């Protein structure tokens, strides 16, 4: 669904510096999906969903297919992973410093 949304956004941005984008920050997704249509009778997301349903029958089942993976992913502790990555980065910096020290050691 995101790729279809990207294609529509690229079409709407034709002639601007944002045309032919290869992607967009996921943090912009709420802004993009809530973008109101000019006639005021819906959102960009609703338009994209209708267009996809018409052109690609059965694709709306993707949510059912993804749910098992989403269920597994919801229990991931992102903050814990980020903390562990910061610790790992600090240890790597220490190792790099030690290697530089050993390179200059004259013993």
**For 32-86, how does the pLDDT look when each residue is reduced to its tens digit (9 = 90+)?**
778 887 777 788 778 877 887 788 777 767 767 777 777 777 778 888 999 999 9
60 shares its domain with 10:
yes
71 shares its domain with 81:
no
51 shares its domain with 15:
yes
* Separation CA 8–CA 49 (nearest Å): 11
Asked if residue 71 lies in contact with residue 24, where contact means CB atoms within 8 angstroms, the answer is no
For the chain, how many structural domains are there in total? 2
Domain assignment of residue 104, given as a range: 77-107
55 shares its domain with 26:
yes
31 shares its domain with 45:
yes
The verdict on pTM exceeding 0.75 is: no
Report helix, strand or coil for 6. Answer: helix
82 shares its domain with 105:
yes
81 shares its domain with 38:
no
87 shares its domain with 68:
no
**CB neighbours of 45 closer than 8 A, spacing ≥ 6?**
5, 32, 33, 34, 35
């Amino acid at each position: 669904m995101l790729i279809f949304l990207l294609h529509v956004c690229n079409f709407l941005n034709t002639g601007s510096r944002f045309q032919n984008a290869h992607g967009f920050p996921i943090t912009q997704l709420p802004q993009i999906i809530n973008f109101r249509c000019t006639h005021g009778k819906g959102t960009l997301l609703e338009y994209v969903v209708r267009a996809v349903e018409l052109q690609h029958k059965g694709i709306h089942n993707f949510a059912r297919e993804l749910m098992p993976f989403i269920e597994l992913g919801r229990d991931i502790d992102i903050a814990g992973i980020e903390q562990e990555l910061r610790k790992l980065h600090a240890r790597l910096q220490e190792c790099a410093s030690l290697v530089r020290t050993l390179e200059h050691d004259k013993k």
